[in-house]
Amino acid sequence: MTQALKLTDLSKTFPVGRRLFGGPKGSVKAVHPLSLTVHQGETLGIVGESGCGKSTLARMLVGLLEPTTGQIEIEGAALDTADPAAFGKRIQYVFQDPISSLNPRKTIRQIMEAPLKRLHGMPAAERRARISEIFDSVNLREEFLDRYPHEFSGGQAQRIGIARALAAQARILILDEPVSALDVSVQAQVLNLLADLRRDFDLTYLFISHDLAVVEAVSDRIAVLYFGAVVEIGPAEEVFANPSHPYTRLLADSAPVVGRPLSAPEAEGTELPDPLNPPPGCAFAARCPRATERCRTETPRLSPVGPRTEAACFHPLSE
C-alpha cells in the first residue's frame, strides 16, 4: 500500500492574549506533536470530543493553518508552505456546515468553477463539461447550477460541497464532521455517496467526527484523539469493540446503545484539563481508573499494544 498522507511531528500551538507589540502572554497546545500515515484508498476515522484538537488538525492538513512544528507529506512530496492553493490540488476539505460553506451571493456554477479556473486554469468549455460530469457523480441535477445556496436543503448543500472538493481533483479529502449538521435519514445518503465516490475515484479520506458509530461505520482505521494527542489507533472493527486505552473504553461505554442499560461510566463531573495549564504526564490520568504515579509524571507515547493497534498508555487494557 502506498502512503497518501504522512504527518511527522505535526503540532499547533496558539498564542493566547495577543499584545500590540512583543510576544503573547501564554500559549495553548491545540495539537501535540503527532505522527500519522494514511494509506492510499483508505478511510482513517478521527474521533474525539469537543476541544480535542480535531478541527485544528484538519485545518493544518489543508493549509488553512500553519503548523507550529512538523511536516506534511502528500503522496511522497513534502508541502511546507501554508498556502491553501498549493494544497488545494492535492488535498481538499469538506466542511461541517454545508450551508455556510457556500457563498450566499454566488450561484452554484460560480462556486464550482472557482477551483477549476484558479487551480487548473481550465478553459470555459472544458469547465462546463467537467462540472456536469462531477454533478452527475454526486447525483445532483444540472439545473441546480444556476441557483443560489439558500435554495438547497442541508443534504443537497453538502453534496455541492463534496462536488466542489472533487472539482479540485485532489485525491485526498478531509471530511470534517461532514454529516453532523444533517438529519439521520439524509446523513445515510451522504455517507453512502462518500463511500461510492471513494471506490469510483480511488480517493483517500480522513473522516473526522464526534459520532463513534458513524466513524466506525465508514472507517478502515480509527484514531482516537484526547486533549490534542492520539491516544489510540487501530482497525475500526477493534478500536471500540476491544479498546486498549481507558479513554477509548470510556467513550465506547458512554455511547447510548439500544439494548444496553443506561449507565454512567463516570459518576462525578470530571472535566478536561485546563489547556492553559496542562497537567504533567498523561492528560487522562485524572479521570482514569487505572492511573498510577507514573501516569501523573511521565507522558506515555504511542506504542504497539496488539498486532495492528497502538495506544498511548502505560497500563493498556488487556484483551
Partner 1 sequence: MTGFLTLLARNRLALAGGIVLLLVGLLALVTPLLPLADPDVTNTSNRFRPIFSPDALLGTDHLGRDLLSRLMWGTRLSLAVGFAAAIVAATLGAAIGIIAGYYGGRTDNVIMRGVDMLMAFPYILLALAIVAALGPGLLNALIAVAAVNVPFFARNIRGITVGIAHKEFVDAARLAGLSNTRIILSEILPNVVPVIVIAMSTTIGWMILETAGLSFLGLGSQPPQADLGSMLGEARSALITNPHTSIVPGMMILIIVMAINLLGDGVRDALDPRLKSGALSRPMAATRVDRKAPVPAPTGAGLLDVQSLETQFHVKDRVYRAVGGVDLHVEKGECLGIIGESGSGKSVTALSVMGLVASPPGVVTGGAVYYDGEDLIGAPYRRLREMRGRNVAYIFQDPLATLHPLYRVGDQLIEAIRAHRPIGKAEGRAKAVDLLRAVRIPNAETRISDYPHEMSGGMRQRVGIAMALANDPDIIIADEPTTALDVTVQAQVLTILDDLRRSRGLAIVFITHDFGVVAQLCDRVAVMYAGRIVEEGRTAEILDAPRHPYTARLMACVPELGGGKRRLEAIAGLPPAVNKLPPGCAFAERCTRVQEDCRQGHIPLARAGGHGVRCLHPIDDSREAAQ
Looking at this protein, which amino acid is placed at residue 166? L
Q: Is 33 in the site for partner 1 (CB under 8 A)?
A: no
User: In terms of CB distance, is 259 or 307 closer to partner 1?
Assistant: 259
Told to check if 267 binds partner 1 by CB under 8 A, we report: yes
State the minimum distance, in angstroms, from the CB of residue 173 to partner 1. 11
Classify 225 as helix, strand or coil: strand
Residues in contact with partner 1, shown as a per-residue x/- string from 51 to 70 under the rule CB under 8 A:
--------x--xxx------
- Tell me which of 143, 200, 271, 319 binds partner 1, using CB under 8 A: 271
The residues with which 8 forms a beta bridge, in sequence order, are: 71
Kindly write down the DSSP assignment for every residue of 128-164, as one continuous string. Answer: HHHHHHHHHHTT--GGGGGS-GGGS-HHHHHHHHHHH
According to CB under 8 A, which residues from 164 to 183 bind partner 1?
A: 164, 168, 183
Which residues 96-125 are close enough to bind partner 1 by CB under 8 A? 96-97, 100-106, 111, 114-115, 118-119
From 6-14, 85-93, 129-137, 308-316, give the range in contact with partner 1 by CB under 8 A.
85-93
Q: Please say whether the beta carbons of 115 and 167 come within 8 A.
A: yes
| Beta partners for residue 97, in sequence order | none
For the bound state, the minimum distance from the C-beta of residue 179 to partner 1, rounded and expressed in Å, comes to: 10
Q: Please report, as residue ranges, which positions from 122 to 151 form the binding site for partner 1 (by CB under 8 A).
A: none
Please count the residues of this chain forming the interface with partner 1, following the rule CB under 8 A: 80
Select from 165, 32, 164, 10 the least CA-distant residue to 78. 10
| Short-list 186, 246, 257, CA closest to 216 | 257
Binding mask 221-240 for partner 1 (x = CB under 8 A): ---------------xx--x
Residue 284 as a binder of partner 1 (CB under 8 A): the answer is: no
Pick from 38, 250, 282, 295 the residue near partner 1 by CB under 8 A.
250
How far, in Å, are 18, 28, 153, 192, 296 from residue 134 at the CA level? 44, 41, 19, 16, 52
What is the rounded distance in angstroms from the CA atom of residue 43 to the CA atom of residue 32? 22
- Using the rule CB under 8 A, give the single segment among 69-77, 213-221, 277-285, 303-311 that binds partner 1: 213-221
Which one, 45 or 281, has the nearer CB to partner 1?
A: 45
Do residues 238 and 219 make contact, with C-beta atoms less than 8 angstroms apart? no
